[in-house]
Amino acid sequence: MLTIYAVSDSIGETAEQVARATASQFNDQVEVKRITYIKTFEDVTNFIDSIQNPDKAMVISTIVLIDVRDFLVQRCIEKGIHINNVLGPCISMASRILNVMPDYKPGAVWHMDDQYYRKIEAMEFAIQYDDSKDNSGIRHADIVLLGLSRTSKTPLCMYLANKGLKALNVPLMPEIPIPQELNEIDRKKIIGLTIDPMQLIDIRKHRLDKYTRVSKDIEYANAERVLEELEFADRVMKRYGCKVIDVTKRAIEDTALIIMEHIGYNEQR
């Protein structure tokens, strides 16, 4: 088992994302651990001394502070630990192109600017209007997701909120009326989510497995019921002429990218 340490002088999210992307290529043979706020030589020493199996360890670093970064590299070399700093070369290259010295500020990407507060507002919006708690939010949404239960509507709304987009979802069921507010917004904002029926059945059965007292034969995971719901959802989406995305075995990040491209969203706005 290889352990990849995602080391940062800030919260370490960037380093962890790179580490997990790396680990994903090796099934269950790699473990990822996030190490945050490494800002001094003492922090580096304590971290290196805590590694019990240096021969089975690897460091992915996003440390910005040059002296701390260099000291970490030095200690890793002494211990025989492989290390890759993913920010250093990128910052140096941008500096050469611009002919400007970088600021070398840890955590600068998480600066609390207008974009940061827009994300917080979008997250609060997603929580407030999740699962049609209040249809009045539809008029104020950047994106409205239509889909059956277990088509990743809520996690997708939260992911989009982290991009600063106000997203809410409308669950589709034959017995529930479609909100009138959908007729009052730009159709481009409406996104339909569809899925392969067999995968949906499997997902719902897995969901029911968590509730041992619930019969697995209830309509929620019944094949006939799932097909009926899918046909209903298809009719609704055709009625609105909205963009439809098949989320079958599709990652949330991939679906979100398709949505953002469809609405012409620029994350740097």
Summarised one tens digit per residue, pLDDT across range 3-19 is 999 999 888 888 999 99
User: Are both 238 and 184 inside the same structural domain?
Assistant: yes
User: Are both 175 and 229 inside the same structural domain?
Assistant: yes
- Please tell me whether the overall predicted TM-score, pTM, comes out greater than 0.75 for this model: no
Quickly list DSSP for 166-231.
Answer: -EEEEE--TTSPPPGGGGGS-GGGEEEEE--HHHHHHHHHHHHHT-TTS-TTSGGG-HHHHHHHHH
Pick from 110, 138, 172: which residue ends a domain?
Answer: 110
User: Are both 166 and 79 inside the same structural domain?
Assistant: no
User: Are both 166 and 65 inside the same structural domain?
Assistant: no
Per-residue pLDDT, 211: 61
**Residue 128 and residue 158 in contact, taking contact as beta carbons nearer than 8 Å:** no
CA distances 146 to 39, 96, 161, 192, 203, Å, are 46, 47, 16, 5, 18
Per-residue pLDDT, 266: 74
User: Are both 159 and 87 inside the same structural domain?
Assistant: no
User: Are both 211 and 197 inside the same structural domain?
Assistant: yes
User: Are both 194 and 76 inside the same structural domain?
Assistant: no
Q: Is residue 73 part of a domain?
A: yes
Per-residue pLDDT, 184: 94
User: Are both 70 and 133 inside the same structural domain?
Assistant: no
Q: How many domains, the chain?
A: 2
User: Are both 82 and 104 inside the same structural domain?
Assistant: yes
**Residue span of the structural domain in which 9 resides:** 2-110
How do residues 97-145 score in pLDDT, each as one tens digit?
Answer: 888 887 777 665 555 567 777 888 999 999 999 887 789 999 999 999 9
Q: Is residue 140 part of a domain?
A: yes
User: Are both 179 and 209 inside the same structural domain?
Assistant: yes
**Residue 191 and residue 153 in contact, taking contact as beta carbons nearer than 8 Å:** no
Q: Is residue 269 part of a domain?
A: no
Per-residue pLDDT, 131: 80
Per-residue pLDDT, 133: 77
Q: Is residue 9 part of a domain?
A: yes
Pick from 110, 134, 159: which residue ends a domain?
Answer: 110
Q: Is residue 268 part of a domain?
A: no
Q: Which residues of the chain have pLDDT under 70?
A: 106-113, 210-218, 267-269
Per-residue pLDDT, 107: 62
User: Are both 30 and 133 inside the same structural domain?
Assistant: no
**Residue 233 and residue 172 in contact, taking contact as beta carbons nearer than 8 Å:** yes
Q: Is residue 67 part of a domain?
A: yes
User: Are both 102 and 154 inside the same structural domain?
Assistant: no
CATH number at residue 90: 3.40.50
> For residue 237, which phi and psi values (nearest 5 degrees)?
-65, -35
Pick from 110, 127, 161: which residue ends a domain?
Answer: 110
Per-residue pLDDT, 141: 95
Per-residue pLDDT, 218: 64
Please state the separation of Cα 12 from the chain's center in Å: 15
